Amino acid sequence: MIKYILSPKGIILLAFAGAVVAVSVLMAWSELGFTGATPDWLTDLTSRIGLHGAIAGFFNSLTPSLGEDLTKYLQGKGVSVNPKSTASLGDYGYILFMGVALTIGGIAIMIIGREDAEEKTVLPVKK
């Protein structure tokens, strides 16, 4: 197991796994409309494992740059939401990051699974 993780392929897969987790965190950030606030479930979860400062800091750091860019892009495309409702521009960001996460995940699964594909079958010798 450890040997596999330390092999080049294992390292690539770990990088993919990390990327999927990172993008999934961005989904939570988008859900609140690209603000620095963390959702309650995430606050609770990250406080328990002592990571809250890091996550909140990550959220805050994204807000003035990426958050504003995404907001500007969506508004430029004519997206508007009813301020009285719970809908938000972040819904679109959520779906974007979900799409990115699915793409990364799909590619990672293909990297693992492609080994089973074959252009050649060597028959196992029966004893």
Partner 1 sequence: MQKIVDNHPLKAFNGLTLAIENAINAFMTSKYNPFYYHGALPQYYLWVLYLSGLLLFAYYIPTIDNAYNSKLLTNAWTSVDYITKSLPFGGVIRGIHRYAGDAMVITILLHALRVWFTDRYRQYRWLQWVSGIVLAIFVLFIGQTGFYLVWDDRSLLLTRMTASAFESLPVVGPGLKTWFLNGDQITNLTLSNFLFIHIGLSFFLLFGLWIHYLRMTRPVLTPPPAVNYILTALVLVCVFIWPLSSGNMADLNKQPVSFDIDWFFLWPYAMLSQMPVMGYWAVMILGTVAITAAPWLMIPKQPAIETAEVVLNKCTGCSLCYKDCPYQAIEMVPAPAGSRFKLLATVKDFRCSGCGVCVGACAFDAIDLPDLPDAEVNAKIKALLEAKG
Partner 2 sequence: MSDAKKVITLICERACDLSGIVDDSGSCTEVPGMKVVKFPCSGMIQPLMIENAIKAGADGVVVTGCQIGDCYYREGNRMIRERLLGDRPPTLKKGTDRRRILALWLAKPQRQRFISESKEFIATLNNLATPEAK
Interface residues toward partner 1, by CB under 8 A: 74, 77-82, 84-88, 91-96, 98-100, 102-103, 105-107, 109-110, 113-114, 116-119
CB 102, min distance to partner 2, A: 22
Question: Would you say 40 or 118 has its CB closer to partner 2?
Answer: 118
123 binds, among partner 1, partner 2, none (CB under 5 to 8 A by kind): partner 2
Question: Would you say 17 or 51 has its CB closer to partner 1?
Answer: 17
Question: Would you say 21 or 79 has its CB closer to partner 1?
Answer: 79
Handedness of CA 7, 13, 19, 24 (dihedral sign): negative
Cα angle: 57, vertex 63, 64; to 5 degrees: 115
Neighbour-count burial for 105-123, b at 16+ CB within 10 Å, e otherwise:
beebeeeeeeeeeeeeeee
In whole angstroms, give the CA distance from residue 67 to residue 85.
20
In terms of C-beta density within 10 A (0-12 exposed, 13-18 middle, 19 or more buried), how is residue 11 classed?
A: exposed
2 binds, among partner 2, partner 1, none (CB under 5 to 8 A by kind): none
8 A C-beta contact, residue 12 and residue 107: no
| Residues in region 82-121 near partner 2 by CB under 8 A | 117-121
Question: Would you say 76 or 124 has its CB closer to partner 2?
Answer: 124
Residue ranges that bind partner 2, judged by CB under 8 A: 117-126
